[in-house]
Chain A
Amino acid sequence: EDQVTQSPEALRLQEGESSSLNCSYTVSGLRGLFWYRQDPGKGPEFLFTLYSAGEEKEKERLKATLTKKESFLHITAPKPEDSATYLCAVLPPGTGGFKTIFGAGTRLFVKA
């Protein structure tokens, strides 16, 4: 069964303390890997799509990377406003392109 596992479940950082969130998946031949940010009580906000191993995308203090079995979301010098839940999702092949699998998320807390 295709699975997406995110770790850690929660991460507490001091402002300026860089770190990484992990997303591992068991899907072979994925069609895309997505990162979203979700604030409490709101819908997820799209951040990045990665399509192939070795690909990297950046946005402000966030950088997403992809290997054949996992993706990392690197957060450089985080600020309190980066506090949110970060969701990883994978689009497997052979599902008609509509059954994206989501991980449970990593809750990030950044303290000033």
Chain B
Amino acid sequence: DGGITQSPKYLFRKEGQNVTLSCEQNLNHDAMYWYRQDPGQGLRLIYYSQIVNDFQKGDIAEGYSVSREKKESFPLTVTSAQKNPTAFYLCASSILTTYGYTFGSGTRLTVV
């Protein structure tokens, strides 16, 4: 079955560490996205990519980085510059933006 796989499901980071969240899709979608979800707030866009080797900053890109070397993969790195990284991170993809998104199951990142 086609879908989006995010890993790991839970991730713990020490202060000052960089961590990378994985996102893989087999839907043949061109566009991919990373969102952050905090309690009581709407999803906020971190980065998005329309095609391979191209990506754009979203509304809260500071402290994050991404790459898009393959159509199927869009990993997110949370750097030590992100001061409040504890959150639920969601990866999504779409064939067309007006069709809605397919989301992964999320990664919960906790700073310890």
Known: A98-B50, A102-B43. Is A91-B97 also a contact (CB below 8 A)?
Answer: yes
Given contacts A99-B45, A102-B44, 12 further A-B contacts (CB under 8 A): A31-B97, A31-B98, A36-B103, A41-B108, A43-B6, A44-B101, A87-B42, A87-B43, A97-B97, A100-B97, A102-B42, A104-B42
Tally of chain A residues near chain B (CB < 8 A): 25
Please indicate the chain B residues that have their CB under 8 angstroms from the CB of A91 in the complex: 97-98
> Are A4 and B42 in touch, CB under 8 angstroms?
yes
How far is A31 from B92 in the complex, measured between Cα atoms in Å?
A: 19
Q: How would residues 38 to 52 of chain B score, 1 for a CB under 8 Å from any chain A CB and 0 otherwise?
A: 001111110010100
Which residues of chain A (44-59) have a CB below 8 Å from chain B?
44-46, 49, 51
Q: How would residues 87 to 112 of chain B score, 1 for a CB under 8 Å from any chain A CB and 0 otherwise?
A: 00010100001111111111010000
Q: Which of A44, A87, A97, A103 is within 8 Å of B98, CB to CB?
A: A97
> Are A103 and B100 in touch, CB under 8 angstroms?
no
How far is A97 from B40 in the complex, measured between Cα atoms in Å?
A: 25
Is A72 interfacial (CB 8 A cutoff)? Answer: no
Q: Which of B31, B42, B104 is within 8 Å of A98, CB to CB?
A: B31
